[in-house]
Amino acid sequence: MNLKDQILKEKLPAHIAVIMDGNGRWAKKKGMMRVIGHEKGTEAVRQTVEASAELGIKHLTLYAFSTENWNRPKLEVQTLMKLLVKSLKKEIKTLQDNNIKLTAIGALNDLPSKAYNELQEVIEKTKDNANMTLTLALSYGSREELVSAVKVLSDKVKNNIISAENIDESIINKHLYTQNLPDVDLLIRTSGEQRISNFLLWQIAYAELYFTDILWPDFTKEDLYTALINYQNRERRFGKTSEQLS
């Protein structure tokens, strides 16, 4: 049986998040510049987006640029931003063809205006698509997200809009960039690194973590299927005992 057919439709994760890592090392191994790795990485994005939509995954979130990535060499940052604009222009068709809604999380105001405007345009054009939500994490950092949420919440408490006693998990959730997304069920990181790098710290509280050595530009639909099969073979206990689940 091929990999795709081994995936159980009734046990799909509602939300997959991916730390797309290894573009630079992929290029270096081939004696090419890092930016070529980023360019090749956009093909892996398309594969992953298409495969997820075809399977019926409802939410896919991709870590494309972190708050810490601003500290990379200026030229690399510029090239990544240009690549973002180019990909948005090119992939709008893939989004429309697959009925995918694009959203974004992060300190989006920090993006160069060209990237910001292109992003908003694609978000607007795809807002009624209902098959899958694709969320790009751009200038995203989980700690920055939490700091912003705390600021807004403290302001609301100060102005008697909510009382401190009433703050609970759901209220915190509603103040995060991810307010419209369910918790992450499956977090995938490529390139062999086994760390979270400031991605969705709150939202992955009970996610299953899947690490693979494959470098992001080499990641294919089959690799996504492999991750999903691995996920479906795990027992998610959420603090309970195995016996309680059956």
Residues at the interface with ligand IPE (CB under 6 A): 19-25, 63-66, 68-69, 80, 191, 193, 195, 197, 216
- In this structure, the chain runs to a length of 246
- How far apart CA 162 and CA 144 sit, in angstroms, is 22
Task: Single out the residue of 51, 69, 68 nearest to residue 60, CA to CA.
Answer: 51
Ranges within 2-61 binding Mg ion (CB under 5 A): 21
- State the residue number with the nearest CB to ligand IPE: 24
Task: Specify the residue, 219 or 225, whose C-beta has the smaller distance to ligand IPE.
Answer: 219
**What is the nearest approach in angstroms of ligand IPE to the Cβ of residue 64?**
6
Burial of 56 from C-beta contacts in 10 A (0-12 / 13-18 / 19+)? exposed
Q: Which does 63 bind (CB under 5 to 8 A by kind): Mg ion, ligand IPE, none?
A: ligand IPE
Choosing from 2, 21, 97, 155, the catalytic residue is 21
Which does residue 219 bind out of ligand IPE, Mg ion, none, counting CB within 5 to 8 angstroms by kind? none
d(CA 5, CA 8): 8
Element spanning 140, H or E: strand 132-140
Q: Which does 25 bind (CB under 5 to 8 A by kind): ligand IPE, Mg ion, none?
A: ligand IPE
In terms of CB distance, is 11 or 90 closer to ligand IPE?
90
Of the residues 5, 23, 69, 128, only one is catalytic, namely 69
DSSP codes of every residue in 26-88: HHHHTT--HHHHHHHHHHHHHHHHHHHHHHT-SEEEEEEEEGGGGGS-HHHHHHHHHHHHHHH
| Binding residues with Mg ion: total (CB under 5 A) | 1
Min separation Cβ 216 and ligand IPE, Å = 6
69: annotated active-site residue: yes
C-alpha 89, offset from chain centre: 19
Nearer to ligand IPE, 20 or 153 (CB): 20
CA distances from 51 to 29, 44, 108, 122 (A): 27, 10, 27, 20
Instruction: Quickly count: other Cβ atoms within 10 Å of residue 97's Cβ.
Output: 11
SS3 string, 109-139, reads HHCCHHHHHHHHHHHHHCCCCCCEEEEEEEE
Least distance in Å: CB of 224 to ligand IPE? Answer: 16
Least distance from Mg ion to the Cβ atom of residue 20, Å:
9
Residue among 18 and 149 whose Cβ is closer to Mg ion: 18
* Residue placing its CB nearer to ligand IPE in the complex, 13 or 24: 24
Note if 21 is an active site residue.
yes
CB 82, min distance to ligand IPE, A: 13
Instruction: Report the catalytic residues.
Output: 21, 69
Residues near Mg ion (CB under 5 A): 21
